[in-house]
Amino acid sequence: MDADLAGMRAFVAAAEELHFGRAAARLFLTQQALSKRIGRLEEALGAPLFERTTRSVALTPAGHRLLPLALDALDAFDTAVEAVRGVPVPLRVDVYHERFTPMEAIRRLVAAEPSITVEPSMRQGLAAAVPALLRREIDAAFGRAHDLGRPWPDELARRLFSLVPLHAFVLDGHPLATRRALTVAELKDAGIVMPDPGASTEWHGYLTRLAAELGVPLRFAEPAIGMLGYRQLMERENRSVAVAEKEMTLPSGDGMVRIPIVEPVPLFPWSIVWHRQNRAPSLVRLLALLEPPAVPDGPSFWLPALDLRWAREAGP
């Protein structure tokens, strides 16, 4: 039989979605066109690939055998096209938000490695990116790989990418604005106030664990609408502080002061996540360039117990 790449792509989309409507939308096809492509492929192979009822779609044994081979075939074709054109296919990477560590890391990596191009997206939460990873709409995503509100999907791989210290954030005129550092004991006296993280369940979980494990009072206020909303929240506070990662990008000249938190230093664990069946060469190269950090030991640093246990079990 001749190669039927369109049929293969239709089959893979339907196999991953197990829903012909979603698969058709993913490929910008009508459901009828998707069904015809899959039908032609089934006819050429001489075997049904799906069992369909009015309520469900499931792979047949032949479909299960074909899926990993089809993924390999499509990856090989895309690699060949990339090599002939001399232009790399962009990696679709969710960086959480442009203000945080992953975006800056991707900027540095792309500048140092011209063979990798990236098409970033910003879903502002790994929980929101996981469905896109499972549908193969994106190649990788950054976030904290715990407290996602769902069991970890077996189809996804994850690896620690960075451990970033938290700082306290206050405005000029706050009683703590002149401090060079703030101990956790002092943080207990001040308390933390944060905008409601909304869909960022992993950030909400991290803050809740910090408050519980370190004994720091925590209060969630209304969600912040951009940096202006974040600033308005802080303007109302004359005692509590906000917290965020050390590397967070802020508008210049806004009167916001960063204060390192010490004794212990809270670390935010960023992970990179990808689909186990995604073998794109540029993704393999990206993962090779992003070396996992060493996990510090001892009382000088703090990670949520859940994250620390996973990081030690996962190893470097």
Average pLDDT value for residue range 131-153:
92
140 CB-contact burial (10 Å; exposed 0-12 / middle 13-18 / buried 19+) = buried
Q: What is residue 300's predicted lDDT score, i.e. its pLDDT? A: 95
Q: What is residue 277's predicted lDDT score, i.e. its pLDDT? A: 84
In whole angstroms, what is the distance from residue 59 CA to residue 170 CA? 55
Residue 191: DSSP 8-state = -
Q: Mind listing the pLDDT tens digit for each residue in 190-219?
A: 999 988 888 789 999 999 999 999 999 999
Give the residue, 229 or 161, on which the prediction is more confident.
161
Q: What is residue 202's predicted lDDT score, i.e. its pLDDT? A: 95
Q: Do 165 and 259 contact (CB within 8 A), yes or no?
A: no
Can you say whether residue 195 is alpha, beta or left, with left for phi > 0 and alpha for psi between -120 and 50 degrees? beta
Q: What is residue 165's predicted lDDT score, i.e. its pLDDT? A: 96
Q: What is residue 99's predicted lDDT score, i.e. its pLDDT? A: 85
Instruction: Please give the structure tokens belonging to residue 290.
Output: 């992003």
Mean confidence (pLDDT) of the chain: 87
Q: Do 95 and 121 contact (CB within 8 A), yes or no?
A: yes
Average pLDDT value for residue range 7-33:
86
Q: Do 82 and 262 contact (CB within 8 A), yes or no?
A: no
Percent of the chain with pLDDT over 70: 92
- Kindly write down the DSSP assignment for every residue of 110-157, as one continuous string: HHH-TT--EEEE--SSHHHHHHHHHTTSSSEEEE-SS--SSPPPTTEE
- Phi first, then psi, for residue 189 (nearest 5°) are -70, -40
3-state secondary structure of 181: coil
22 band by pLDDT with thresholds 50, 70 and 90: confident
Cα 268 to chain centroid distance, Å, stands at 14
Give the residue, 149 or 54, on which the prediction is more confident.
149
Q: What is residue 243's predicted lDDT score, i.e. its pLDDT? A: 93
Say what the pTM is: 0.73
- Domains located in the chain, CATH noted: 5-85 (1.10.10.10), 91-162+268-300 (3.40.190.10), 165-267 (3.40.190.290)
Average pLDDT value for residue range 18-28:
83
Q: What is residue 201's predicted lDDT score, i.e. its pLDDT? A: 93
- Kindly write down the DSSP assignment for every residue of 265-279, as one continuous string: EEEEEEEEEEETT--
Q: Mind listing the pLDDT tens digit for each residue in 34-92?
A: 999 999 999 999 999 999 887 888 999 999 999 888 888 887 787 776 667 666 678 89
Q: What is residue 13's predicted lDDT score, i.e. its pLDDT? A: 86
